[in-house]
Structures are given as C-alpha cells and as structure tokens.
C-alpha cells in the first residue's frame, strides 16, 4: 500500500475513519460463501458524500481499487476486495434522509438496514411499508435494491431495482450524479420519464460507481395481514398452486420451500437427502393483507377455492394453516412470522458457510427445473434445500438451491463449488438466469450471452470506470 495514500486518506477522513490494523481489516476479507478470502490493504469509514468523493479522488489518482461494502451478506463474494484494495465501509452512512409519505418515497443512505427502515416507518406512523428480503436484518436496503434482489413484496412490485426511483452516485472522477426524475425535480418520484441512467448502477455490483443515496418507493401497509401455509405432496402440486394463486391477483407474496428447508428451520442441521414416507415435498406460504375483515375473508375463500380445485384434480394438499397456529405447534416457526428476520439456521452453524445458486426464471419451467436441481443436489449427497417465490405478477420467479457447509474444511468448499457448477449449467440450459452473479459463474456464462450485450457491457464499464478501480474482478472480469 502506498504510504502517501494512507496519509492522505487520514487527512481527508480523520485517523479514526481509516483502518490499517490487520486484525480489524480481517473483518472485510470474507462473506458466508465459498469465495476465497482476501484482506484489503485499508478500509475507510466515510460518513458523508464529500468523504466518499475524497476517497474516490485519492484512489483514482493512485489507481487503487475500491470495494464498496455494507454488511457483506450477499453470499456471492461480491464485497470481497482484490489484494491492495481499499474497502469503503458504508455502514456509517445510515441516515434515512426523508420519508415523503404523500408520494410514498423515501431517500436513504447505503448503511440503512432492513430493520432500521421498518422500525422508522412504524415509529413515524407512516402507514407505509417496504419489501424485506430473507437476508439478515442488518443488511443494507440500498445494496439489495442496486443488486436487484428479491423480497416479500416482489410478487406485486418485481425485483428490488423496480423500487428505485432514482440514485445519487459518486462517479470515477469523484463527481456526483442524480438519476431519474430527481435530475430535475426535488421530488424523486420515479425513474421515468428521462433516459433511465439508474440502470447504469443496477446489478453492476459496485463496479460503476458508489451509490451514496437511493430514492426508494414505499408501499401502503394494510391493517390486516395473515401468512398461511399449504403443504403440497408433489413438486407439480406446489408450483401449479403458485401459478394459479398468482392469477387471482389477491396475494402479497407466494413462496414455496422444499421439505429439507422446513426441516432445517425446525432445527435439523443436515436433513437426510431422501424424504420420509408420506412427507410433504413443499410448503407454500401465502401472504394476504386487507383493509377490512370482509376483504380478508374473501381472499381466504378464493385461496381455499384454488386449493380445493387442485385437490379435486388429484394434487395432494393439506388445508391452509396460519402462521400463528404453526408457531403454537412449534415455536421455531416464529422465524417466519414476520420479515425482516434472521434465518440463523442458515448462517449461525458451526461451519459458518452458506452458498446457493439463485436464479430468476419463467414459472412455467419451475417444476422440471426444481426436480432437476434437487436431483443434482441429491447426487452430491445433499438434501435439496430449495427456496422459491413468484415475482412481478407471476411473469417470473426466483428458484434458489442452497447448501450450508464448513468453511474451514477444504473438501467441503470444493464439493459445494462442484455442485454449484452443475446446478448453474443445468439451470442456464433451462433458461434461468443467475442473479447477484458471482465471478465464478460469470466466467461460465459470458460465453453463452448475446455477444452484443457483452460488448455493450464492456464499453459501458470502460466509459464509467476507465481505470477499472471500482470493485475489480466482479461483474465484468478484468
């Protein structure tokens, strides 16, 4: 590391906001996934936009790579730096700058966490809510939006970039840009109607600039809410129910979890790869909300009609159970009572490793893709832990295959890497596209992508980051 850069960063941010101590730097070298750890040369902890600009200016002058990071929970190695890099730890930029309840839009900084936003919206009595992922409560709302992740509101509103109304970004020359209507209006109401430059920072994994503020849409909350669970005895029954329920346009969220996922939630660390005789194969959860009890009763009636129809057609189902009853039967189900939550059965286990191949794809292909992916996992000796949900009104959905492993056991790391490669190849062949794509997967996928698309990606990257200082080694390989 250039000593002069260290000194100048201290001059710009103050001693306490520049970390050079190897023990503290180790905090930034890793995530849950099987990606190799790399310790940065330095970490900086800016609290203002001007400090982020100063960091970018100094790193650009010296050609030093930068990796933006908040909680590091992305499960894809995306916030792991390259050797010699400076990690920009944005947790200290955690202001909820404004909540405009009338226009249902909030402006937030990168360090705002899922739990923080939820608590704030409740505390101010906004009557508004947001989409919360299954990621830890401490993970960044802004990061999930710019990574185009998915949440419990993705069925109605789509992947999380759809919630972005505009961004404020520090570019490679340290200048500041606002995107969306925000470029002209003091109310950042939408990405429309100017050219949609917000996309230049969406799903780019921090490789085109550092986002310092996001304007995000909020959604109305309703006084009544219920989460119901349906047990399905076949893959086809589960996803056929998902497809039919989507078309009622009455549900806030519809997800399907495979049987080993349920077992893990109930405390079984490593479920057996083969289900017990007569065990349901999936449980679906369905979120309903309403203004009035009559509206809720109507929605439940339609839900029961759909499941009754499916049962009549010979698909195996148990009648819907509400989450309150399930929690009474087994308090471990409390994890699923409301979002955001901490799925500690996936993250707080002795080996500490969590990996997945998570894809977006067409609902019409879920049955075959889920069965094929399950077979790959079983072939690798692991139980098929599958998490899925319908998105954007059913136009697509997420299908994600998960495994926990011991990060310290090299053989297990190599094992999950091999399994993930097999899953990726199969799912890509079926038309599914991996999201929050890790570098290892991009190496496999670039050759299969439309060449014009890849060329445009490369040109865009070269334009926005001519020196290649922003999060190298991610989205586009060097």
Contact 361, 396 (CB under 8 A): yes
Question: Site for ligand FAD (CB under 6 A): which residue of 51, 53, 64, 144?
Answer: 144
Per-residue binder mask for ligand FAD (CB under 6 A), 344-383, x = binder: --xx------x-----------------------------
> Between residues 65 and 72, which has the closer beta carbon with respect to ligand FAD?
72
State phi, psi for 42 to the nearest 5 degrees: -150, 160
The one segment of 139-147, 255-263, 304-312, 441-449 that binds ligand FAD by CB under 6 A = 139-147
Which residues in 167-186 contact ligand FAD (CB under 6 A)? none
Compute the least distance from the CB of residue 440 to ligand FAD, in Å: 15
Question: Site for ligand FAD (CB under 6 A): which residue of 60, 90, 161, 228?
Answer: 90
Contacts of 468 (CB under 8 A, 6+ apart): 65, 461, 478
Interatomic CA distance for residues 81 and 66, integer angstroms: 8
Place of tokens 């660390």: 269
HSE, CB side, 13 Å, CA atoms: give it for residue 315: 23
The one segment of 35-43, 141-149, 228-236, 319-327 that binds ligand FAD by CB under 6 A = 141-149
Compute the least distance from the CB of residue 189 to ligand FAD, in Å: 22
Interatomic CA distance for residues 224 and 292, integer angstroms: 7
> Between residues 32 and 336, which has the closer beta carbon with respect to ligand FAD?
32
Q: Output DSSP code: residue 148.
A: T
Which residues in 264-323 contact ligand FAD (CB under 6 A)? none
Compute the least distance from the CB of residue 43 to ligand FAD, in Å: 12
The one segment of 70-78, 238-246, 369-377, 415-423 that binds ligand FAD by CB under 6 A = 70-78
Place of tokens 């329920």: 245
Interatomic CA distance for residues 281 and 472, integer angstroms: 41
Contact 469, 60 (CB under 8 A): yes
> Between residues 340 and 394, which has the closer beta carbon with respect to ligand FAD?
340
Compute the least distance from the CB of residue 310 to ligand FAD, in Å: 26
Cα 195 to chain centroid, rounded: 26
Place of tokens 């079984």: 268
The one segment of 18-26, 53-61, 128-136, 259-267 that binds ligand FAD by CB under 6 A = 128-136
Question: Site for ligand FAD (CB under 6 A): which residue of 40, 65, 81, 135?
Answer: 135
Contact between 52 and ligand FAD by CB under 6 A: the answer reads no
Interatomic CA distance for residues 124 and 219, integer angstroms: 15
Question: Site for ligand FAD (CB under 6 A): which residue of 40, 65, 72, 262?
Answer: 72
Contacts 24+ apart (CB under 8 A), 400-403: 400/356, 400/357, 400/358, 400/359, 401/356, 401/357, 401/358, 401/373, 401/374, 401/376, 401/377, 402/261, 402/346, 402/354, 402/355, 402/356, 403/354, 403/355, 403/356, 403/377
Contact between 140 and ligand FAD by CB under 6 A: the answer reads yes
Per-residue binder mask for ligand FAD (CB under 6 A), 434-463, x = binder: --x---------------------------
Q: What is the largest CA-CA distance in the chain?
A: 74
Contact between 471 and ligand FAD by CB under 6 A: the answer reads yes
User: What's the distance, Cα to Cα, between the start and end of the chain in Å?
Assistant: 21
Question: Site for ligand FAD (CB under 6 A): which residue of 78, 164, 254, 265?
Answer: 78
CB atoms < 10 A from the CB of 431, how many?
12
Residues in the interface with ligand FAD (CB under 6 A) total 38
Question: Site for ligand FAD (CB under 6 A): which residue of 55, 58, 108, 147?
Answer: 147
Question: Site for ligand FAD (CB under 6 A): which residue of 134, 251, 306, 390?
Answer: 134
Question: Site for ligand FAD (CB under 6 A): which residue of 73, 289, 388, 404?
Answer: 73
Contact between 473 and ligand FAD by CB under 6 A: the answer reads no
3-state secondary structure 16-78: HHEECCHHHHHHHCCCCCCCCCCCCCEEECCCCHHHHHHHHHHHHHHCCCEEEECCCCCCCCC
Contact 107, 119 (CB under 8 A): no
Contact 169, 227 (CB under 8 A): no
Contact between 68 and ligand FAD by CB under 6 A: the answer reads yes
Question: Site for ligand FAD (CB under 6 A): which residue of 71, 385, 390, 419?
Answer: 71
Q: How far lies 117's CA from each of 106, 111, 114, 122, 409, in Å?
A: 10, 11, 5, 9, 37
Compute the least distance from the CB of residue 142 to ligand FAD, in Å: 6
State phi, psi for 107 to the nearest 5 degrees: -110, 125
Which residues in 222-251 contact ligand FAD (CB under 6 A)? none
Which residues in 105-124 contact ligand FAD (CB under 6 A)? 110
Tell me if residue 204 falls in helix, strand or coil. Answer: coil
Compute the least distance from the CB of residue 3 to ligand FAD, in Å: 26
Compute the least distance from the CB of residue 134 to ligand FAD, in Å: 3
Question: Site for ligand FAD (CB under 6 A): which residue of 8, 69, 153, 191?
Answer: 69
Q: Which residues would be at the binding site for ligand FAD (CB under 6 A)?
A: 32, 67-75, 78-79, 90, 110, 133-136, 139-140, 142-144, 146-147, 149-150, 205-206, 210-211, 343, 346-347, 354, 436, 471, 474
């Amino acid at each position: 590391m250039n000593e002069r850069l260290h000194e100048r960063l201290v001059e710009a941010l103050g001693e306490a906001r520049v970390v050079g101590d190897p023990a503290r730097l180790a905090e930034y070298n890793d995530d849950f996934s099987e990606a190799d750890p790399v310790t940065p040369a330095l970490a900086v902890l800016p609290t203002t936009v001007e400090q982020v600009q100063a960091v970018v200016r100094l790193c650009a002058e010296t050609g030093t790579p930068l990796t933006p990071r908040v909680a590091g929970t992305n499960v894809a190695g995306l916030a792991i730096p390259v050797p010699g890099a400076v990690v920009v730890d944005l947790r200290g930029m955690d202001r909820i700058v404004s909540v405009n309840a009338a226009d249902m839009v909030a402006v937030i900084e990168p360090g705002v966490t899922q739990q923080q936003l939820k608590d704030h919206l409740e505390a101010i009595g906004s009557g508004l809510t947001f989409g919360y992922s299954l990621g830890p409560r401490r993970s960044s709302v802004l990061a999930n939006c710019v990574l185009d992740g998915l949440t419990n509101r993705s069925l109605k509103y789509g992947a999380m970039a759809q919630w972005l109304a505009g961004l404020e970004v520090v570019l490679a020359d340290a200048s500041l840009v606002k995107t969306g209507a925000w470029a002209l209006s003091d109310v950042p109401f939408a990405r429309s109607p100017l050219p949609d430059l917000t996309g230049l920072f969406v799903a780019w994994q921090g490789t085109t600039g550092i986002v310092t503020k996001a304007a995000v849409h909020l959604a109305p909350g309703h006084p009544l809410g219920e989460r119901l669970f349906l047990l399905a005895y076949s893959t086809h029954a589960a996803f056929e129910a998902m497809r039919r329920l989507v078309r009622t346009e009455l549900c806030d969220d519809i997800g399907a979890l495979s049987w080993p996922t349920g077992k893990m939630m109930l405390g079984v660390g490593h479920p057996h790869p083969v289900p017990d005789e007569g065990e349901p194969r999936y449980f679906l959860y369905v979120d309903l909300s309403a203004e009035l009890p009559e509206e809720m009763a109507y929605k439940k009636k339609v839900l029961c009609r759909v499941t009754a129809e499916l049962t009549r057609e010979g698909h195996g189902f148990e009648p819907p159970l509400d989450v309150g009853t399930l929690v009474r039967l087994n308090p471990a189900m409390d994890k699923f009572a409301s979002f955001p939550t901490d799925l500690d059965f996936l993250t707080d286990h002795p080996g500490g490793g969590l990996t997945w191949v998570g894809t977006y794809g067409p609902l019409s292909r879920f049955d075959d893709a889920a069965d094929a992916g399950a077979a790959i996992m079983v072939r690798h000796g692991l139980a098929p832990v599958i998490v899925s949900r319908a998105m954007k009104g059913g136009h697509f959905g997420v299908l994600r295959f998960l495994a926990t492993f011991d990060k310290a056991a090299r053989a297990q790391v190599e094992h999950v890497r091999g399994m993930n490669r097999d899953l990726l190849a199969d799912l890509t062949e079926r038309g599914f596209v991996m999201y929050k794509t890790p570098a290892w997967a991009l190496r496999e996928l670039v050759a299969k992508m439309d060449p014009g698309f890849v060329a445009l990606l490369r040109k865009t990257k070269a334009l926005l980051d001519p020196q290649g200082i922003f999060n190298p080694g991610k989205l586009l390989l060097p």
